[in-house]
Copies of this chain bind each other. A is one copy, B any other.
């Protein structure tokens, strides 16, 4: 049995630096960079007021680390499991399903919230998030759409990608507002599967690879 000392916890309870990172993620996500105070973060982490300076240098570097840490929590976006040999429609189906699910029911809502905040007005830590998190997904989607729309030019592919992403991101960026407009219950009833199914079908239908939502049409 391993000996156990005070300053070397049994590896299951995180050290001060980890606690600080977690607390920072929470507080920055909730309040934003400026409105968050290092005092609150330290209190939440059970750490000393000087701990931020000690571990991270200053508030801003803590913020950057918190954002980097957040995109770790969310799971590597570029590595959506899409078999390269699958037919394009299947690729798109998987991509959209994964993306919609991650936005609507993320593994770590706090982490995602922090990242979205940084994206909302890109600044101190936008670079990492874009490079490591968003760009891979964007390029993967573009590749799929090029397969799926062989005759389309770059602009069409680009805007189609925006239509796909716009649908997925809606559930992250605007659901709180939607809850204010419609009954909260009505919105809350939308489970991740239903959302994913809808976005997949809407998109495939728009691209002519599934039946449209409104039944037969004049098209």
Q: What residues of chain A have their CB less than 8 Å away from a CB belonging to chain B? A: 31-35, 117, 119-122, 126-127, 130, 134-135, 138, 148-149, 151-152, 154-156, 158-160, 162-163, 165-171, 173-174, 176-178, 180-182, 186-187, 189-190, 194-195, 198-199, 202-203, 205-219
Chain B CB count within 10 A is highest, among A163, A182, A186, A211, for: A163
Cβ-defined contact, B208 with A214, below 8 A: yes
Q: Can you list 29 A-B pairs with a CB-CB distance of less than 8 A?
A: A32-B32, A34-B35, A117-B121, A120-B173, A126-B180, A130-B180, A138-B178, A138-B182, A149-B214, A152-B213, A152-B214, A154-B186, A155-B190, A156-B213, A158-B186, A162-B167, A162-B171, A162-B178, A166-B166, A166-B169, A166-B174, A202-B206, A203-B206, A205-B212, A205-B219, A206-B212, A208-B214, A209-B218, A210-B219
Looking at the assembled complex, report how far the CB atom of A187 sits from the nearest CB atom of chain B, in whole angstroms: 8
Bound state CA distance, A178 and B119, in angstroms? 10
Q: Are A181 and B217 in contact (CB under 8 A)?
A: no
A7 to chain B, nearest CB (A): 16
Contact status A148-B32, CB under 8 Å: no
A10 to chain B, nearest CB (A): 27
Output the residue of A33, A148, A213 with the most chain B CB within 10 A: A213
Of B119, B174, B206, B216, the residue contacting A119 (CB under 8 A) is: B174
Q: Find A214's partner among B148, B158, B174, B176 (CB 8 Å cutoff).
A: B148
